[in-house]
Amino acid sequence: MSRTSLKHLAIIMDGNGRWAKERGLNRTKGHEKGADVIRDITTYCSYHSMIESVTFYAFSTENWKRPKYEVDFLMKLLDKYLKKELPIYQKLNVRFKAIGNIKSFSKALQKRIKETEELTKNNTNLTQLLALNYGGRAEIVSTVNNLIATGKKELTEEDISQGLQTPYKDIDLLIRTSGEERISNFLLWQLSYSEFYFSDTLWPDFTSTELENIIESYQARTRRFGGI
């Protein structure tokens, strides 16, 4: 892999609540604006010459601890987002895929997710992954248990990599917005040799122009993967 390769981009979208608070708005307004930014960044990635996959951390296994009204709103927003995005996925030739345990969602939302995956499965320009009810540790534990259930007695790194929900690409670049500098149980296995970039921008204010500048900075780095 060359030092400039960027096939898989991952983003921790942080700062929706603070963005809304700074404007005297309900936190839900920040989430609405944040959903618009997902669309903008996905569109940018779909035109980028190297990016094949972009994974957004949309809802973690820990997010259930938030107030019920906010969780309920996020579930409705996700359903609305997918319904609205489907024509855009098709226009941009983008495949949608969910990672995480969606069985905790309502039957209707599960159906929306699966239908969107099915209707876009043949799109080839870009894969957009939404991490939904996702936790990196839970993914690894689930993968190991699934492999054991097949009768395997000893596992290799390749076994686990292929068993994960995102088996086809490790993460090249992880971006986290809002100034926080942690990975919050996101894609723990896939981030082993990733480059990190922490932006002070709150997610609703994040733009494709800033992303382009980050990518330029990333491409100036030398990735050694443990070598010299």
Active site amino acids:
14, 63
Helix locations, the chain, DSSP H: 16-22, 27-47, 68-92, 107-120, 136-149, 157-163, 208-219
Q: Is 131 in contact with 182 (CB distance < 8 Å)?
A: no
Report the 10 Å Cβ neighbour count for 130.
23
Q: How far apart are the C-alpha atoms of 132 and 183, rounded to whole Å?
A: 16
Angle, CA of 187, 178 and 218, to the nearest 5°: 60
Rounded Cα–Cα distance for residues 58 and 165 (Å)? 15
- Rounded CA-CA distance 77/73 in Å is 6
